[in-house]
A and B are shown apart, each in its own frame.
Chain A
Amino acid sequence: MTTTTTTTPLDLADVQGGILNPRPSPYVGTYLLLRIDDRRDGREMLRRLAERIAPAATWSADSGSWFNVALSHRGLAALGVPAESLATFPPEFRAGMAARAGVLGDVGVQSPEHWEWPLGTADVHVALAVIAKDAERLDVLLEEARAAYGRLPGVRLIWRQDCYALPTEREAFGFRDGISHPAVEGSGIPGSNPQERPLEAGEFVTGYVDETGDRAPVPQPEALGRNGTYVVFRKLHQDVAGFRRYLRDHSASAEDEERLAAKLVGRWRSGAPLVLAPERDDPALGADPTRNNDYLYRREDERGLRCPVGSHVRRMNPRDAVVTGEVRLHRMIRRGTSYGPPLPDGVLEDDGAERGLCFVFIGAHIARQFEFVQAQWVGDGRAFGAPEERDPLVGSHDGPGVFTIPARPIRRRLTDLPQFVSTRGGEYCFAPSLTALRWLADLEG
């Protein structure tokens, strides 16, 4: 890919603070979805919220709590954004996540007609993320959020999802999450892999040169379209008991179970990557942010003897490994947060509780980044030379899944993987710049 020398500096004074930045640890959050029944009330809410959102230039996690706001295509329409302007947004965003179910593999029991209401319906207009370091501060901020929408009869709260990131930073299957994230050129936010060149700002913020060497068209007018980013959220149920049973049934010892679990993910539970800790978990490595993502694949592990080519993290970011396509065009910022009560340690039977991951993607190109990764790297194996395989951790299988674990002297092949993760619903949203929030609030008519 070309490195561009004449890029416009990223206008951090206009980007919503807290979107590009890693979140503090631990933290709690609440995702709210709102419907706009009266555009004037919707605009008034945005005006109030915009006042409370710090620009990325001065934003700091030390503030302890913050909002981010994003709108679906229908939300923009509900605010009265003119049709000519709506037509300048990318087609997949205009279609919305439910309409893209075929591309994303949300079929059968995971198809939108089975999603949790109101996900996937025309009612989802505004997504409000309320994030705080602890529950007390969250309550205070939720109060403030309520002040922004509460007394406006034309805005209705239709969904609330409470989430949390544990102090251990473990997701529901028990792995440290939120480790690997890319550096964004000009953002000042360091990436977690010192060996990965920062990605061009246009990969994550609209209106800048991206990794193609070009500046993608910006939704019009520029006041609305520039300095924004797309936010994809997906509520993903995790079958934790099923995952634990699978490990137990395919291992000879507790140690074996941990090794198998690590092979599926590509990291040990502590977060230590298999490439750097091939034999056993190394909790000190897993916990050390200066080392736990400092690796590539090709030199150390071309054939996947340490980290399987088909493991979750190697699929999601093949780094320098040889796969079909150009990896740097398919990177993303993630903000995953757990929901639901953790399944107590050692429990192997499902307790019927809803739990999983509120997956959040952030990037400037929904189709080329999120949809590509979900369809090609999660839901297919051809890019990795294994057409019959899917992502062993998060992929959907229409039958028993296959997963190859390279090993000496002989590779191991699992041929009976069940599905561990199921889609409960989600939406494609646009997180406008601060200028755009004011532009939307000032719409007339």
Chain B
Amino acid sequence: MTQSTCTTTVKSGRGARHGVVSEVTAFLTVKPGEADELRAGLVRFHERVRRAPWQEVVKIGIVDMRHAVFEDDTRLLWITSFDTDWDPYIDDAVAIIGIENWQDWLRHTVEYSSSPEAFRDAAAVKRSLQAAQVPATGFYRAIPDLTLAQVEKGRRIREAFERVLDDPRAAEALQHPALKPLLDEAAD
């Protein structure tokens, strides 16, 4: 595994990077009295993303994401990490997930709802997040050097390999010299 340090690049906006992944940490302000609606919108948002088929997950690029409402329902923390750099791709992610699904919760934040372009321009999502973003002092991912597509490919190869190994003829088939690297992995 290549060692990569946590760096902030111009491309990743004010987010930090570890390997091929960048992060966004944002503290937003909850519109007074709207915390319950905000939470409900977030639940729907997460459900939407969790239901996405794998191809779409890769396209969206969100590696993980958490939202937490805190300080007596006045503030919202959004922490996420993103395949590659988030800055160039966030508009795409907004489009793929569907602007209405973002607005469903963002409308309950001061940053979004007070933006002049809110509800008119998709770029308002990015701007309101950037406005609320704070630089991360530390950012660590255990597997920094694999993109989602590579992880998915690895999973498919592993499953295929297990199916091969379940076949009683596998021991013989893997004896071919060209398959030596696979045979080395076949024992456990």
Query: Which A residues are within 8 Å of any B CB, using their own CB?
Result: 303-305, 309, 404, 406-411, 413
* Nearest B residue to A406, CB-CB: B188
* Nearest B residue to A385, CB-CB: B188
Residues of B within 8 A of A309 (CB): 188
Asked whether B121 is an interface residue with its Cβ less than 8 Å from the other chain, the reply is no
Residues of A within 8 A of B183 (CB): 409
The binding surface of chain A is classed by DSSP as loop
Q: How far is the CA of A407 from the CA of B187 in the complex (A)?
A: 5
Q: Is the CB of B166 within 8 A of A303?
A: no
Q: How far is the CA of A186 from the CA of B166 in the complex (A)?
A: 51
Query: Which B residues are within 8 Å of any A CB, using their own CB?
Result: 162, 165-166, 170-171, 174-175, 183, 186-188
Residues of B within 8 A of A304 (CB): 188
Q: How far is the CB of A250 from chain B (nearest CB, A)?
A: 14
Q: How far is the CA of A305 from the CA of B185 in the complex (A)?
A: 12
Residues of A within 8 A of B162 (CB): 413
Q: Is the CB of B188 within 8 A of A409?
A: no
* Nearest B residue to A413, CB-CB: B166
The binding surface of chain B is classed by DSSP as helix
Residues of B within 8 A of A409 (CB): 171, 174-175, 183, 186-187
Residues of A within 8 A of B170 (CB): 410
Q: How far is the CB of B169 from chain A (nearest CB, A)?
A: 10
Nearest 7 pairs of A and B residues by beta carbon: A406-B188, A303-B188, A410-B186, A408-B187, A410-B171, A409-B171, A406-B187
Q: How far is the CA of A162 from the CA of B32 in the complex (A)?
A: 67
Q: Would A303 and B165 be within 8 Å (CB), given that A410-B170, A410-B171 are in contact? A: no
Q: How far is the CA of A285 from the CA of B139 in the complex (A)?
A: 50
Q: Which of A304, A309, A409 has the most CB of B within 10 A?
A: A409
* Nearest B residue to A408, CB-CB: B187
Give 16 new A-B contacts, CB below 8 A, not counting A303-B188, A413-B162. A303-B187, A304-B188, A404-B188, A406-B187, A407-B187, A408-B186, A409-B174, A410-B165, A410-B174, A410-B186, A410-B187, A411-B165, A411-B186, A411-B187, A411-B188, A413-B165
Q: How far is the CA of A410 from the CA of B166 in the complex (A)?
A: 9
Residues of B within 8 A of A404 (CB): 188
